[in-house]
Amino acid sequence: MIYHETEHGVLYCGDCLDVLPTLADKSVDLVLTSPPYDNLREYGEGKGYCFTDSIFKPIANELYRITKQGGVCVWVVGDATINGNETGSSFRQALYFKEIGFNLHDTMIYEKAGFANPSKTRYHQIFEYMFILTIDDCASFNPICDRPTIWETWGKNTKRQKDGTLIDAGERLKYKGKMGMRYNIWRYATGGMGMSASNKIAHQHPAIFPEQLAIDHVKSWSNEKMTVLDCFGGSGTTAIACIRLNRKYILIEKEEKYCEIAAKRIETELDQTDLFRDES
């Protein structure tokens, strides 16, 4: 059921297992989503919803069906720790994506600026995985270059052969004063997500990823007017990134109370956009 619609995209209120099959084959350029992994959050009317393999696998199959050739799926996920033992769900899911035809293009890390629960018997947990999955080669890549560089040149670049010998692989140049491409560990604050009006609304949802994380992924793996899907739409963060970057969004969210938050947030964002446009 369509819950909310704008010129930028559509928000469906329903289980993604029901909604995804209604989307056309190869209709999505980018999937950016974070599932309700393990039992770290309670969802549903009876608070008994658990993201098991019986739910995950049909969703993964649908994502493969609707993602375009050259498209990307960004799967942001972590593991619960039960009696001192991490579940490993993240790894099993990544391997299943490979099994059904996705390439594991990159294993990125979302590093949090702080941690909520201090660990007494291990190092503090401050990251989640961001699996970058592609169908064949990645068709769209717009690297974010915000890492300060120092050297004007690295001189000769070498490459090690299988027998251990080094061969000359040409020169690699880095120009002083220019910004280099960032690494694949991205660090974000998890507390104050920013001061925009739409951001403040998002905090009513119990499990949000940083707005800048969504913006950076949408910018990196898609181009303007492409279609971006978030099948666990939550508070609508992916839609906000799409509005700001001129992409089309498709959100799917199971719980109506979160659809209400996402819709309100989208409308607030559009009001702000119109305000800025009028002032300019």
Can you tell me the distance from the alpha carbon of 229 to that of 100, in angstroms, rounded to the nearest whole number?
A: 19
Nearest to 44 by CA among 255, 206, 252, 207: 255
Q: What is the pLDDT of residue 130?
A: 98
Can you tell me the distance from the alpha carbon of 49 to that of 37, in angstroms, rounded to the nearest whole number?
A: 10
Q: What is the pLDDT of residue 174?
A: 54
Secondary structure class of 74 (helix, strand, coil): strand
Q: What is the pLDDT of residue 50?
A: 72
Q: What is the pLDDT of residue 116?
A: 72
Can you tell me the distance from the alpha carbon of 230 to that of 31, in angstroms, rounded to the nearest whole number?
A: 6
Question: What pTM value is reported for the model?
Answer: 0.86
Q: Could you tell me where the beta strands, DSSP code E, fall in 113-225?
A: 127-134, 147-148, 153-160, 166-173, 179-180, 185-188
Q: CB under 8 Å to 211, separation ≥6 — which residues?
A: 193, 194, 196, 199, 202, 237, 240, 241
* DSSP classification of residue 48: -
Can you tell me the distance from the alpha carbon of 18 to that of 12, in angstroms, rounded to the nearest whole number?
A: 10
Do the beta carbons of residue 10 and residue 251 sit within 8 Å?
yes
Q: What is the pLDDT of residue 275?
A: 52
Q: Which phi and psi angles does 71 have, rounded to 5°? A: -75, 170
* DSSP classification of residue 159: E
pLDDT in tens, 109-149: 999 988 777 788 889 889 999 999 999 999 999 999 998 87
3-state helix, strand, coil split of the chain in percent (to 5) is 30, 30, 40
Q: Which phi and psi angles does 3 have, rounded to 5°? A: -95, -35
Buried b (16+ CB within 10 A) or exposed e, 93-116: bbeebeeeebeebeebebebeeee
Q: What is the pLDDT of residue 171?
A: 65
Domains recognised in the chain with CATH numbers: 2-144+182-270 (3.40.50.150), 148-180 (no CATH)
Q: What is the pLDDT of residue 201?
A: 53
pLDDT tens by residue, the chain, 280 residues: 899 999 999 999 999 999 999 999 999 999 999 998 765 544 454 444 578 899 999 999 999 999 999 999 999 999 988 888 999 999 999 999 999 999 999 999 999 988 777 788 889 889 999 999 999 999 999 999 998 876 555 556 778 888 888 888 776 655 555 788 999 999 998 755 444 555 555 445 445 689 999 999 999 999 999 999 999 999 999 999 999 999 999 999 999 999 999 999 999 999 987 654 545 4
Buried b (16+ CB within 10 A) or exposed e, 28-59: bbbbbbbbbbbeeeebeeeeebebeeebbeeb
